[in-house]
Structure formats: structure tokens, C-alpha cells
Structure 1
Amino acid sequence: MKYTEEHEWLRADGDAYVVGITEHATSQLGDLVFVELPEVGTEVSKDDEIVVIESVKAASDIMAPVDGVITAVNEALAEDPSLANSDPLGEGWFFKIKPSDASQVDGLMDEDAYTAMIG
């Protein structure tokens, strides 16, 4: 898995990556009550705001971790945002993205670097 400074995780899934937010992010945000996901097929650039989330504490955005195309979204999360809290690394994923430049993924943090950042 790879991680961003914005507390997102990426896990390879074929030629795409599944993207979600980390347990650290969910603990900071509190219970999620609303998620607005991007449209499948949307082309995004790294750091574009592509998901809107609202929690009991704040509204926030999830940024595109790399340039690419959204290939899937987690409709179950839109129906039940609390999945991001109860299973952030599993059923609480947000979207899948196919990078246009896979080398951007290599520039993201590994687990040790992310753990050190939030330490």
C-alpha cells in the first residue's frame, strides 16, 4: 500500500488503484455522515478535489492522489458513509483510479514513512 500526506491510502487492483482514507483520518474526522463521490470516467489531475465528505466535526475534501481516470466508485459508501469509519481499509474505500502515469504512485509514502509522519 501507498499513502499520501492527505491521509489517503492506495492499494493496487489490476491496472488501477483502490483509494480510501486511513484510520488516522477517520479518527480525526469523527463519524462520516455524507459522502459525494465522483462520476466514473472522470479524468482527474493530482490534487484535484474529487470527493466531498462531511463528518460530525467538519466538511472536507479528498484529493486525487495521482493523475488518472476514475474507474469505479463505492456506491455502498454513498448509501452508508459510516463504512469509512468501521472498515476504512476494506469496505470503506471511496473510488478506483487508473493512473495516467504510474510512476506518480512510486513517489507516494510507504507504510513506514506514513507512520513516521503521523507519529
Structure 2
Amino acid sequence: MGRARSNGAGDLPEFAEIVLDLVDRVPPGRVLSYGDVAELVERGGPRQVGQVLGRYGSLTCWWRVVMADGSPPPGHEDRARARWDAEGIPRRGGRVDMGRARWSGPTPADGGVGGS
């Protein structure tokens, strides 16, 4: 699955590894909602995805995962918007334009979810 990750106390939980691997694959200029990530990995829900990113996501492209309405991650609004601008992620005001920026996820040719 690519690189190994550690939380300082050993290996990451399997769910966290799967979520972070998917988030790492979101192309520049595209986003997923927390719910999209949960649907694509077929486990957990938006809150569980948010918990994973909150605990382990600092080394991934966390700004490419947003609230369902396109809002940035709470507490990281300014940093997320700066990253969005740098990548050219389409916006409507302070939110991502989900209709234009949402990524459909990896295809089977890309290795699907959990593949590389």
C-alpha cells in the first residue's frame, strides 16, 4: 500500500490507513467530502473520517477533504483556503464549488480504493 505510517506508538489502525491512502490519491484541484471518503472506503461515516484526519492527517493533503457543503475543515479555514487557491480548486466565496471540484474517486484501473 505505499508508505508505512506510524502514530508514534506503532502502526495505524487499518481504517485510518485506508482513509489516509485514499485522501493521498485525491488529485490536486479536486476534493472529496468526509461522507464521500466514507462511501468510497465502504466503512465508517463522515465523523469517523474526520477523526482519522484530525488524529493522523497532518502529513496528507487534508485540505482536499471538506464538509458536504464545501466548507473547509473547522479550525483550519484560512490554511485550507490558501491551499485551495494554490491548487486552483474552484470556489464559491469561502466554500469549494462541489459541483465542479468533487472527485469521483479512483477507478479499478487506478487500483480502486485501497490499491495503488
- Fold match, TM over 0.5? no
Per residue, is there more strand in 1 or in 2? 1
TM class by shorter chain equals under 0.3
Structure with the higher fraction of residues in helix conformation: 2
